[in-house]
């Protein structure tokens, strides 16, 4: 299962729906624990919201990701505990009694609330933009994989349509395709309009397919737009080396923070396009929209 990364808007909506459907009330010990957390680190805007009958998410107002969750009860899996305990669940915790596929791997428990509160202060911290980029990238990887397969199939069909057998396609046809590209760019008029249209279609599909040629890395920039505590709008960009790789490592050489008013026009244009889309919508040749302030965008020039 691994660690449960959770976006704040989603957890608040789920909590409200759960309460409306079930009418559950938070248990006394958990309520006290949540109150202590909000008072102790609430100066930074930390809030709690119900997750289950005995657990609650912890998040900071204005942030995109939940810090983790806290609870009160029996969270052991091997046996029934004699006493209920206070628990803190956070991505920075490593409980080596459990493997990382169990939620207990990311949990610290304590009999006394004051001890658990210390754990909360130590481990419940906000995500960096890089962490957010990795945490939310799973559906992007899925969509890019689907586009990869579709693009390769479409390119093979387009090659066959102009008379190049896809099964025999190799680097030997490179000069021919390059020459066809030059002809189209120069405005050459083909004797057969249908052939000309098919060649243009083939070149377009070649461009899309080339993004995935020979299993090359597919870099994407994660973009996060936010407002600072003093009202200044900024934009963070974080580059993922290869969105198709299961680890999705960050290329720290390309991480940037921009003032919104200084954003490059090309990047601003892509954000404007994606802003018109629905959440979780993928647009080939542009990127993926997570929300109104978070996007994954294709990198057109990986050398810069």
In a domain, 108, yes or no: yes
Long-range contacts of 285-288 (CB under 8 A, 24+ apart): 285/208, 287/220, 288/139, 288/140, 288/143, 288/220
Instruction: Encode the chain (304 residues) as per-residue pLDDT tens digits.
Output: 689 999 999 888 888 777 665 666 778 999 999 999 999 886 668 999 999 889 999 999 889 999 999 999 998 766 655 689 999 999 999 998 888 888 999 999 999 999 999 999 999 999 999 999 999 999 999 988 888 888 888 888 888 888 887 654 555 567 777 788 888 888 888 888 888 888 888 888 887 777 666 567 889 999 999 998 788 999 999 999 999 888 899 999 999 999 998 999 999 999 999 999 999 999 878 999 999 999 999 997 554 3
Question: Of 215, 237, 272, which residue is a domain's last?
Answer: 215
Domain shared by 272 and 161, yes or no: no
Give yes or no: residues 53 and 149 share one domain. no
Task: Assess if residue 2 is contained within a domain.
Answer: no
Tell whether 198 and 251 lie within a shared domain.
no
Residues 101 and 211 reside in one and the same domain: no
User: Does some domain include residue 13?
Assistant: yes
Q: Using CA atoms, how far apart are residues 229 and 286, in angstroms rounded to an integer?
A: 31
150 domain-assigned: yes
In a domain? residue 135: no
User: Same domain for 278 and 167?
Assistant: no
Specify the number of domains making up the chain. 3
In a domain, 75, yes or no: yes
| 68-73/55-60 β-pairing | antiparallel
- Give me the domain span that covers residue 274: 217-298
- Look at residue 199 and tell me if it is in a domain: yes
């Amino acid at each position: 299962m691994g660690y449960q990364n959770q976006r704040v808007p989603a957890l608040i909506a789920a909590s409200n729906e759960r309460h409306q459907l079930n009418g559950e009330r938070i248990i006394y010990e958990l309520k006290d624990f949540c109150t202590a957390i909000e008072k102790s680190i609430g100066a930074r805007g930390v809030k709690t919201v119900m997750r289950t009958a005995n657990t609650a998410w912890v998040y900071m107002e204005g942030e995109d990701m939940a810090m983790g969750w806290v609870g009160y009860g029996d969270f052991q899996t091997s046996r029934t505990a004699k006493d209920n305990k206070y628990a803190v669940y956070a991505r920075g915790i490593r409980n080596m009694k459990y493997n990382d596929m169990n939620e207990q791997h990311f949990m610290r428990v304590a009999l006394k609330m004051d001890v658990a509160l210390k754990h909360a202060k130590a481990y419940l911290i906000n995500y960096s933009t890089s962490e957010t980029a990795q945490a939310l990238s799973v559906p992007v990887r899925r969509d890019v994989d689907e586009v990869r397969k579709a693009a390769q199939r479409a390119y093979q069909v387009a090659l066959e349509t102009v008379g190049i057998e896809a099964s025999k396609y190799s680097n030997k046809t490179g000069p021919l395709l390059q020459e066809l590209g030059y002809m189209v760019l120069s405005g050459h008029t083909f004797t057969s309009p249908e052939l000309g249209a098919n060649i243009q279609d083939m070149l377009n599909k070649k461009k899309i397919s080339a993004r995935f040629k020979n299993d090359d890395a597919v870099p994407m920039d994660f973009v996060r737009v936010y407002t600072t505590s003093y009202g200044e709008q900024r934009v963070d960009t974080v580059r993922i080396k290869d969105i198709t790789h299961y680890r999705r490592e960050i290329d720290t050489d390309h991480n940037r923070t921009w003032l919104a008013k200084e954003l490059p026009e090309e990047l601003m244009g892509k954000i404007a396009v994606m802003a018109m889309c629905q959440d979780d919508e993928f647009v080939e040749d542009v990127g993926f929209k997570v929300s109104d302030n978070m996007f994954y965008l294709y990198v057109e020039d990986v050398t810069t």
